[in-house]
Amino acid sequence: MRYVRLILFVLIVLVVMAVPLALVLARSYFLAPTAQPVKAQPIQFPHSVHVQAVGLDCTYCHRNATTSAQATLPPLELCMQCHKIIPTQGRPELEKLVAAFQQGQPILWNKVHQLPDHTHFVHSVHLSFGFQCSTCHGDVGAMGKPGVKQVRDLRMGDCITCHQQNGARTDCSVCHY
């Protein structure tokens, strides 16, 4: 009985200290990129319609992914090559696209995969090594409205782990130059 009170006290202290620890871990979990809700976009673009229903390859729109550093967004004129003959009536999202094109207004998307400016990521190198777009971006082709969600952490630790697993270089200048 002599030590019961002491043990009880220690246990209570541990429980008390566990609360902030749990909060820290929860904060880290809920602020992780993959835990973020789908970002609201100016147009609810359904990748599923374009990839699964129409059968377009990723590189039909993201034309430079296999040949250069940047995957690139297509210009609106590329969208309009098809959408000039697809009826927009009753499709408010399509109406936004056509209106933007007619008014010459670029569409400002909210970036889903945000990479800092001091980091170089070269899409073509990763694709030519044999990775699929989905390795990093997930099954975007199945993502419908409201839009794309980030499925992988893609912070530096994630990059380095993947580089180590695949025998790629991990010195700073690989990405920061």
Partner 1 sequence: MRRRDFLKVAATSATGAVLFAGCGRIGDGVPESEFKIAQPVFNTNDWVYGRDAWFATAAPPDQGGYGLIVRVFEGRAKKVDGNPDFPGIHGKSDARAQALVQELYHPDRLSGARRATSRGSGQFQTIPWDSALQEVAQILREVGGEHAVLITGRLNASQAAIVAAFRKATGIRQAVLEPDEFVVLRTAIRRLFGVSTLPIPDLANARFLLNFSADFLHGWIAPVALAHAYGEFRQGKPGQRGLYYHVGPRLSGTAANADRWFPIIPGSEGLVALAIAQVLSTEGKAPQDRLDPYLTALGLDATRLASDYAPERVAPATGLSAEQIRELAHALVEHQPAVVIAGTSAAAATNGLFNLVATFGLNWILGSVNQPGGLLLNPEPPLPDLRVPDDAILSLRGWTELFEQIRSGTISTVLVYRANPVYALPSASGAREALQAAKHVVSFSPFLDETTTLADLVLPDQAWLEQWGLSVPDPGPGFAAVAIQQPVVAPFLDARAFGDVLLDLLRLLGQDQPWSTQEQATKALALQLRSLGRGSVTATNDKEFLVTLQARGGWWDEQSRATGSAPSTAAVQPREPAFAGEQNQFPYVLHPYPLPSLGYGELAHLPWLQGLPEPISTNVWQTWIEVSQATADELGLQTGDLVRVLTPQGVAELPVYVNPATQPGIIAIPFGQGHTAYTRYAEGRGVNPATLVAPETEPDTGTFAWAATRCRIEKTGRRARLARFEGMVPAFQLEEFPIVRVMAPKA
Q: Does 167 bind partner 1 (CB under 8 A)?
A: no
CA–CA dist 89, 95 (Å, integer): 7
- Residue of the chain from 109, 163, 168, 174 that contacts partner 1 (CB under 8 A): 109
> Measured from the CB of residue 21, what is the shortest distance to partner 1 in angstroms?
9
Give the range of 59-67, 83-91, 145-153, 156-164 binding partner 1 by CB under 8 A.
59-67
Binding mask 74-103 for partner 1 (x = CB under 8 A): xxxxx---------------------xx--
Show the tokens assigned to 133.
């777009």
| C-alpha distance from residue 159 to each of 112, 128, 132, 156, 168 (Å) | 17, 17, 15, 5, 10
| C-alpha distance from residue 140 to each of 15, 30, 91, 160 (Å) | 42, 22, 22, 23
**Binding positions for partner 1, rule: CB under 8 A:** 9, 12-13, 16-17, 19-20, 23-24, 27, 31, 63-65, 67-78, 100-101, 104-111, 114, 117-118
